Amino acid sequence: MRKSALTGALLVTIFASPALANDSVTKLTADPNNWAIQTGDYTNQRYSKLDQINRDNVKDLKVAWTFSTGVLRGHEGSPLVIGDTMWLHTPFPNNVFALDLNEPGKIIWTYKPKQDPSVIPVMCCDTVNRGLAYADGMIFLHQADTTVVALDAKTGKEVWKAVNGDPKKGETNTATVLPVKDKLVVGISGGEFGVAGHVTAYDIKTGKRVWRAYSSGPDDQILFDPQKTMSLGKPVGKDSSLKTWQGDQWKIGGGTTWGWYSYDPDLDLIYYGSGNPSTWNPAQRPGDNKWSMTIFARNPDTGVAKWAYQMTPFDEWDYDGINEMILADIDVKGEKRKVLVHFDRNGLGYTLDRGTGELLVAEKFDPAVNWTTGVEFDKSKPNYGRPYVVDKYSTAKNGEDVNTKGVCPAALGSKDMQPATFSPRTGLFYVPTNHVCMDYEPFRVSYTAGQPYVGATLSMYPAPNSHGGMGNFIAWDAGKGEIVWSQPEPFSVWSGALATAGGVVFYGTLEGYLKAVDEKDGKELFKFRTPSGIIGNVMTYSHKGKQYVGILSGIGGWAGIGLAAGLTNPTDGLGAVGGYAGLSNYTALGGTLTVFSLP
């Protein structure tokens, strides 16, 4: 048995009732001194109870130490901290460092996977990785090439390895993984390569595959129970997915699962969303393309779905539904509800009952959103729960080889994977957003395994008739579906936010600033120019009684793909290069962790 201060947790798990969450994660995330999971805790709230750094003193924050990762290109995710140790990952080649917090920067061990660089060109949106997970004395890494590795957290030695996909078919990984109970739940990328998305659970001790749930296909592959799996209050019925696709298109139909995962231990449900249907040319895939663009609630032991809700049936804009599901207990129209809040790429902020999947709120969280007039809330209507699409912005209606102009948001959404945060202090969600529109011209494309299967030419630009910038940082009332305040940013906010008990909300900017704002009104309290543009997520921890705030900088991701991959043609990088060209006046590549504290 692995020797570790935390081995006790493993023993407990073995004898624990199967309805309990993975004990080590629950215990470690309950201690605000740690940052033991990418998402802060299972709820994905990214809220820290630490309050040493607060609204009054955050202006005095200074850099405590820094660490270069040795890798260029986009740095997403954040380090993990448990006790005296920090674990840090890099983009491809996905190196892992264990750092000694007693001597900041001192390296305890390094793990350098050998990966075939041929995976790089099959990654749609930069060679990012959203970070490691920890459970039961192990660190879990899901590599770009879809190898899932469990490492001894103390030594960095491999415990097990599993292979989740095949990069030769365009299957790659950028997401973090979710350790839950005795399983490790992992997703897959490749929606721009016609990959059929799925979620897979591995035995956390052995790496043996336990179940796999596809986003599209027959019921036994999507793990739907036609009678018991619900959608909008009704059983989904037989072949709920197959019925919505023409022919075999579902086999190359996307719906990848490269976003974030949450877990409710009481309901014993995991939550995540699926991505765009393939191709981006809607004419090639008539139908609702279920269950792409869907929020799923699944049982972690069996993978069977309790409920599902498709936000954007028959996507015409690449509005992947993979953004994080934040679990919170909030007031909705005067009633305390156990909800799931989700800021979708399509520009709508959704609030659902997370036990039943009941739709409570769906409102625009960026006023620029124009492809829809909103969602039908009348349960008696046949289109209950569906968005109304504005003809002018329907790339399907306008047809192939027609450039549909001025669609808001752009394909990268009013918000992409950059995670929002929820503060139980204010009851508000703080959301890093994109304020970007696009022209979208679909074209016919044929499928070849491992080749791009995109089928649209895009160009992106700041939302017109607005403040001229490409982003806002907003506070959102998810009970009402209302923006409480909004702070403009010159570029999209591509960094994950952090709310703290100190009344401060942190986020990073693409130019490279770490910013701290007041939870009440968004007023800027502090900013610091980190070495490179920020697409990582702000985290906080406490060591020997001192609170630290950590952020990875390193420009890249979809927004920064021009810099990261050295592209300059405006429509390259799936249309992002032109829109974010101005970034080269602000920042250059380079991965660095910057850690702040009070003096």
Q: Which of residues 95-154 bind its own copies (CB under 8 A)?
A: 95, 97, 104-107, 110
H-run or E-run covering 13: helix 7-15
The residue among 585, 586, 549, 581 whose CA lies nearest residue 568 is: 581
Residue 12 or 581 having the CB closest to its own copies: 581
Q: Where are the beta strands (DSSP E) in 7-54?
A: 47-48
Buried b / exposed e along 73-103 (16+ C-beta atoms within 10 A): bbbbbbbbbbeebbbbbbbbbbbbbbbebee
Sequence-ordered list of residues with C-beta below 8 angstroms from that of 214, at least 6 positions apart, any chain:
196, 197, 198, 221, 222, 223, 255
Q: Which stretch, 121-129, 231-239, 241-249, 546-554, contacts ligand PQQ (CB under 6 A)?
A: 121-129
Is 174 known as a binding-site position?
yes
557 binds ligand PQQ (CB under 6 A): yes
Q: Single out the residue of 315, 416, 441, 511 in contact with ligand PQQ (rule: CB under 6 A).
A: 416
Q: Which stretch, 243-251, 381-389, 411-419, 585-593, contacts ligand PQQ (CB under 6 A)?
A: 411-419
The residue among 466, 472, 504 whose CA lies nearest residue 486 is: 472
Q: Single out the residue of 164, 289, 532, 537 in contact with its own copies (rule: CB under 8 A).
A: 532
168 binds its own copies (CB under 8 A): no
d(CA 275, CA 297): 15
d(CA 179, CA 130): 15
529 binds its own copies (CB under 8 A): yes
Q: Is the peptide bond before 65 cis (omega within 30 degrees of 0)?
A: no
546 binds its own copies (CB under 8 A): no
Binding mask 67-106 for its own copies (x = CB under 8 A): xxxxxx----------------------x-x------xxx
Q: Single out the residue of 128, 153, 236, 460 in contact with ligand PQQ (rule: CB under 6 A).
A: 128
The residue among 318, 333, 96, 30 whose CA lies nearest residue 192 is: 318
Region for residue 450 given its phi and psi (left: phi exceeds 0; alpha: psi -120 to 50; beta: otherwise): left
Is 76 known as a binding-site position?
yes
The residue among 497, 537, 582 whose CA lies nearest residue 78 is: 537
First to last CA, the chain: 42
Is 200 known as a binding-site position?
no
Which of the listed partners (its own copies, ligand PQQ, none) does 258 bind, with a CB threshold of 5 to 8 Å by partner kind?
ligand PQQ
Q: Which of residues 73-112 bind ligand PQQ (CB under 6 A)?
A: 76
Q: Single out the residue of 8, 56, 60, 302 in contact with its own copies (rule: CB under 8 A).
A: 60
Pair 272, 259: CB distance under 8 Å? yes
The residue among 176, 191, 199 whose CA lies nearest residue 44 is: 176
Question: How many residues are listed for the chain in this entry?
Answer: 599
Binding mask 227-246 for its own copies (x = CB under 8 A): --------------------
Residue 463 or 535 having the CB closest to ligand PQQ: 535
The residue among 584, 583, 567, 586 whose CA lies nearest residue 575 is: 567
Q: Tally DSSP H helices, then E strands, for the chain.
A: 6, 40
Is 192 known as a binding-site position?
yes
d(CA 284, CA 249): 8
330 binds ligand PQQ (CB under 6 A): no
d(CA 421, CA 530): 21
At closest approach, how far in Å is the CB of 565 from its own copies? 13
Which of the listed partners (its own copies, ligand PQQ, none) does 312 bind, with a CB threshold of 5 to 8 Å by partner kind?
none
Q: Which of residues 284-323 bind its own copies (CB under 8 A)?
A: none
Q: Single out the residue of 85, 189, 231, 540 in contact with ligand PQQ (rule: CB under 6 A).
A: 189
Residue 236 or 456 having the CB closest to ligand PQQ: 456
Is 358 known as a binding-site position?
no
Both tokens of residue 435? 């304020």
Catalytic residues: 318
Residue 50 or 412 having the CB closest to ligand PQQ: 412
Give the residue closest to ligand PQQ by C-beta: 191
Which of the listed partners (ligand PQQ, its own copies, none) does 262 bind, with a CB threshold of 5 to 8 Å by partner kind?
none
Is 136 known as a binding-site position?
no
Sequence-ordered list of residues with C-beta below 8 angstroms from that of 448, at least 6 positions apart, any chain:
none
Which of the listed partners (its own copies, ligand PQQ, none) does 586 bind, with a CB threshold of 5 to 8 Å by partner kind?
its own copies
Q: Which stretch, 33-41, 77-85, 109-117, 189-197, contacts ligand PQQ (CB under 6 A)?
A: 189-197
Residue 455 or 531 having the CB closest to its own copies: 531
Q: Which stretch, 124-132, 133-141, 441-449, 477-485, contacts ligand PQQ (CB under 6 A)?
A: 124-132
Can you tell me which residue has the tokens 């209606």? 397
Coil/strand/helix, residue 271: strand
125 binds ligand PQQ (CB under 6 A): yes
Can you tell me which residue has the tokens 């990785």? 129
Q: Single out the residue of 1, 3, 15, 62 in contact with its own copies (rule: CB under 8 A).
A: 62
Pair 577, 560: CB distance under 8 Å? no
- Nearest 5°: phi and psi at 577? -60, -45
544 binds its own copies (CB under 8 A): no
d(CA 274, CA 418): 16
Is 363 known as a binding-site position?
no
Return the axis-axis angle of helices 7-15 and 23-30, rounded to nearest 10°: 130
Q: Which stretch, 119-127, 305-313, 365-373, 525-533, contacts ligand PQQ (CB under 6 A)?
A: 119-127
Binding residues for Ca(2+): 192, 276, 318
- List residues binding its own copies (CB under 8 A): 60, 62-63, 65-72, 95, 97, 104-107, 110, 511-512, 528-532, 553-554, 584-594, 599
- List residues binding ligand PQQ (CB under 6 A): 76, 124-126, 128, 174, 189-192, 256, 258, 275-276, 318, 320, 412, 416-417, 557-558
